[in-house]
Structure 1
Amino acid sequence: MKINSVKNFLLPFAICFLLAMGLYPDSTLDPTLYSTEGLELDYNISDDLAMVEHKKPKSNIFTPHLGKSFEGFKEALAFKESRGDYFTVNTLGYLGKYQFGAETLKLIGIYNPNQFLYNPELQEKAFLANASRNKWVLRKDIKRFNGKLISGVKITESGILAAAHLAGPGSVKKFLRSYGDNNFSDAYGSTVRYYMKKFSGYDTSVIEPNKKAKAKL
């Protein structure tokens, strides 16, 4: 190791120097007698051996904050559905990042589930098309119930659309018009009420209601 080489050289040099001082205590030392010119001295040692104070990593690393935007809405919903995994299939056969069923895909013009599963761009378009279709089906209910309190939950457009993604617009209509008495639950225990509450207050104004919305590349 380089650090040992330096020690091995300097130790005898220091001893000789001290002996010289002892032998000639009154003499004036001539620095030129102790020159290191021509010697190969390497004082470079690695950081892991040296006592170096490293700079702390910056704590202000940029991370996107989606908040209550539409992007925040769809990513939060995707995380709940599949943890954002485009290529997953659950135990009931629901597909992709947003967990679509084959029948729902047919409604928005997708007839090849396998092609859908391996195409992230198509999945994003499918999410938007399905939300547009649901918004059209539920347009009157959104207008009627938005801002009201039902079963302890403040009703918002984004909550309605999230619940429609879970259970279909028909189940959402039943929940709203029964004032919470008819609360659909899926096979994993997620309910319309739960989605209404969890996804409340996002900005989904970008979604245009469209009865005939289709997912096209």
Structure 2
Amino acid sequence: MIKKTKNYFVISLAICVTLYLALKPQESLNIEDYSTAGLELNYDMSHDLASLDENNQMQLSNPLQSTHLSFPHIGKSYVGFKEALAFKESRGNYFTVNTLGYLGKYQFGAETLKLIGIYNPNQFLYNPKLQEKAFLANAERNKWILRKDIKRFEGKKIKGVVITESGILAAAHLAGPGSVKKFLRSYGKTNVSDAYGSSVRYYMKKFSGYDTSFIEADKKAKAVM
């Protein structure tokens, strides 16, 4: 009998506690404590599987096979620059080789790789980390070669294109720093194109206005693991 009484007491106590918690007035929330003011919340770009058009805008690659993805807004930063360039070169595929033998995410040629210290193209192709280092090293080397031209021509308009450092570096990635010098110093009269029809002027325009201050001019830049 005593055991049953104890059980009834425990059950009654549990019911009372539950009712108290359920009926207890809720404390008012101070919404200001949860404010997002001042935070850089740029992860709000939602697109279907897409490609970039001539103006670097997202376009649906196949509306019938759309897959909803969320992309961080990397804007005009260095990361935005290299990823936009990679998308144009290879759609961001580290392991692709084009019909002319150019390799990887940023489509490097074997001779350019040698200039930045890479002598094994096959090893390079299957090493994404090395490819990222190669992109930066090549950009640093090109920035050193073109440093005087960047200073001289940045902000000027040539053949309808406002010249920016990022446009110069992108064009150098496409056609080499020598071709960029010829374009700038001829005020657009010499406009080299690659085998697929992309020209120095086109890259100057497409990749203008990115912040490439992260890239340091370095004559001896190498891709070192």
TM-score, scaled relative to structure 1: 0.72
Find the counterpart in structure 2 of residue 204 from structure 1: 212
What residue number does 1:82 align with? 90
Aligned-partner residue type, residue 133 of structure 1: R
1:177 aligned partner, one-letter code: R
1:10-25 aligned at under 5 Å gives the runs none
Aligned residues: 159
Q: Are 2:140 and 2:218, in contact at CA under 8 Å, matched by a contact in 1?
A: yes
What residue number does 2:121 align with? 113
Quick one: distance in 2 between partners of 1:140 and 1:216?
27
Listed as ranges, the matches of 1:104-143 within 5 Å are: 104-143=112-151
* Corresponding residue SS for 2:174: helix
Q: In structure 1, how many angstroms separate the alpha carbons of the residues matched to 2:178 and 2:45?
A: 46
Partner residue, 1:44: none
| RMSD between superposed Cα atoms in Å | 1.3
- Describe the SS at the equivalent of 2:94: coil
Aligned identity (percent) is 84
Aligned mate of 2:164, from 156, 163, 169: 156
TM-score normalised by L of structure 2:
0.69
1: CA distance, partners of 2:87 / 2:188: 25
Name structure 1 gaps, 5 residues minimum. Answer: 1-58
TM-aligned CA deviation for residue 60 of structure 1: 8.5
The answer to which structure, 1 or 2, has the higher relative contact order (CA under 8 A, 6+ apart) is 1
Q: 4+ residue stretches of structure 1 with deviation over 2 A?
A: 59-63
Could you tell me how far apart the structure 1 residues matched to 2:112 and 2:77 are? 25
- Tell me what 2:100 maps to: 92
Partner of 1:65: 73
* Offset, 1:165: 0.1
User: How far apart are the structure 1 equivalents of 2:116 and 2:140?
Assistant: 10
C-alpha contact (below 8 Å) 2:166/2:210 kept by paired residues: yes
| Cα separation, 1, equivalents of 2:71 and 2:199 | 32
